[in-house]
Amino acid sequence: MEKPEESPLRLIFVSYSSRDEEIVSPLARLVVATGVEVFFARATIPDGALWRREIYEKLRGAFRALIFWSINAAASQWVRREYRYAMRHKVPLVPVLLDATELPPELARYQALDALLPTMRKALAVESRIRARPPRKDLLSHEGSADKLLWDYAALRVEVTKMILSSAYKEPGP
């Protein structure tokens, strides 16, 4: 039986520097959890596949390409190749700012998702506070400050996911 072809209206291509994987991977997993199909190279390319071909095929068929931009992405030849390839193939782009690194002129003309940065910083700060405390058995309680951290963290992650999805599915301008 043939595998059904993936819907290009749902596939979101994630371009990122491998040095930012620790930040981008959880964000990609959050989007996947909503039912959206995400191409995230390290997790999506099957072992033994011709990885360059996989990347370019998925990029051509993507509904949108999210370009996670940082100082590491600015130094990555692959991130540059991917966003330029997307431009040539008319795949709508959304730069997602991970730090204050300036976008190159060819990417700067696209509306960037920059509201994500402060929310991500809050979520990471809350996450580090959660990791620093001992595990609790009553995690479902939202009473008390320790458990409030978990609820705050969950709310921040939902907010980040909503920002990414609304940006990814917004109709591109002319």
Q: What is the CATH number of the domain that holds 138?
A: 3.40.50.10140
Angle (nearest 5°) at CA 107 between 74 and 10: 100
Beta 93-97 vs 12-15: how paired, if at all?
unpaired
15 and 67 Cβ atoms separated by less than 8 Å: yes
pLDDT at 81: 95
Global pTM reads 0.71
On average, the pLDDT of the chain sits at: 77
Q: Does 15 or 148 have the greater pLDDT score?
A: 15
Domain that holds residue 35: 12-169
pLDDT at 9: 45
Checking if the pLDDT of 2 tops 50, the result is: no
Asked whether residue 163 is domain-assigned, the answer is yes
What does the pLDDT average to over 104-129? 80
101 and 118 Cβ atoms separated by less than 8 Å: no
Task: Decide: helix, strand or coil at residue 94.
Answer: strand
Asked whether residue 174 is domain-assigned, the answer is no
pLDDT at 90: 94
pLDDT at 142: 46
Helix axes 116-132, 145-169, angle to 10 degrees: 150
Asked whether residue 4 is domain-assigned, the answer is no
Most confident of 26-30, 69-73, 129-133, 170-174: 69-73
Q: Does 37 or 142 have the greater pLDDT score?
A: 37
Most confident of 11-25, 35-49, 67-81, 144-158: 67-81
pLDDT at 4: 42
pLDDT at 41: 72
Number of Cβ within a 10 Å radius of residue 75: 12
**How many domains, in total, are found in the chain?**
1
